[in-house]
Amino acid sequence: MATTEMQRTLTIRPVTTALGAEIEGVDLSKPLSPDVVAELRQAMLDHLVIFFRDQTLNAEQYLAFAHTMGEPMEYPFVSGLPEASLITPVVKEADQTVNFGGVWHSDTAYLPEPPKATMLLARETPPSGGDTMFANQQLAYERLSEGFRAVLDGLTAVNSSVRADGIRTNVDKDVPADTETGMAGYSAEHPVVRTHPETGRKSLYINRGHTVRFVGWSEEESLPILNHLFDHQITEEFVCRFRWQPGSLALWDNRAVLHYPLNDYHGHRREMHRITLRGDKPR
């Protein structure tokens, strides 16, 4: 198989042993060879979140790269850019104090078929702060005791687009909450432990932002176990942290990763452009 110039310069540098890798030597504004696309897809499966620096992409180029990694889909509740409806602007203005999605979560777990992956491109960043944390949920599952894993393997959870008023963010704070079905009736039941459709590894698939209770259990019965798992999911050894700069791009596996955008940059504007890639029903 021929080796392209891009392949010879592509470098993958792990960020931590838990997850995350920075990719160097690739210009995402240009068409990528099938071999490079395959290598990037494998890097995401191996490291769960991959990072790129200094990527100057217009909307068309950003979408073109997204199409090499999956099928872009619309995001509920937030309109896309006028010139590109599949790109969702994620903006916190300098005078705002609440950020978008400011809780540990996986994206839209309340949909019947949540995204397989999410891409985020930094357009404007504060001088400091605004980092994003990521947590490996395959490790979170594997580090539980054998007995606890056996219990969780048989459970299904209810996931709602609004779990509680206390976690609502600037994207949804003006929409009336419905504790049973969430905003606009978005609610879905998914296995607490899902099997990755490409690697076969199991991971915890609950999150503090959306998971309400176990199916067949009350919220009061579910809460002690859920709170224990929510804390366990973000154990330090499962986590990496990414510092954004304009032109930084992150791509993460939404099937096996939680993320959390830090809200520590009041008085400064932050604008990110997000693309979500269509997934399948968790199993």
Q: Hey, which residues are catalytic here? A: 105, 107, 259, 274
Helix (H) or strand (E) holding 226: helix 219-233
Q: Which two tokens stand for residue 10?
A: 């592509």
Q: Which amino acid is at 125?
A: T
* Alpha-carbon gap, residue 194 to 114, rounded angstroms: 12
Q: Which of 258, 250, 18, 237 is nearest to 133 (CA)?
A: 258
* Alpha-carbon gap, residue 65 to 40, rounded angstroms: 11
Q: Which residues pair with 250 in a beta bridge?
A: 51, 120
Q: Is 165 exposed, middle or buried (0-12, 13-18, 19+ CB in 10 A)?
A: exposed
SS3 label, residue 272: strand
| Per-state percent for the chain, helix, strand, coil, to nearest 5 | 25, 25, 50
* Alpha-carbon gap, residue 213 to 50, rounded angstroms: 31
Sheet with strand 257-261: strands edge to edge = 239-242, 132-136, 257-261
Q: Is 122 exposed, middle or buried (0-12, 13-18, 19+ CB in 10 A)?
A: buried
Helix (H) or strand (E) holding 252: strand 249-253
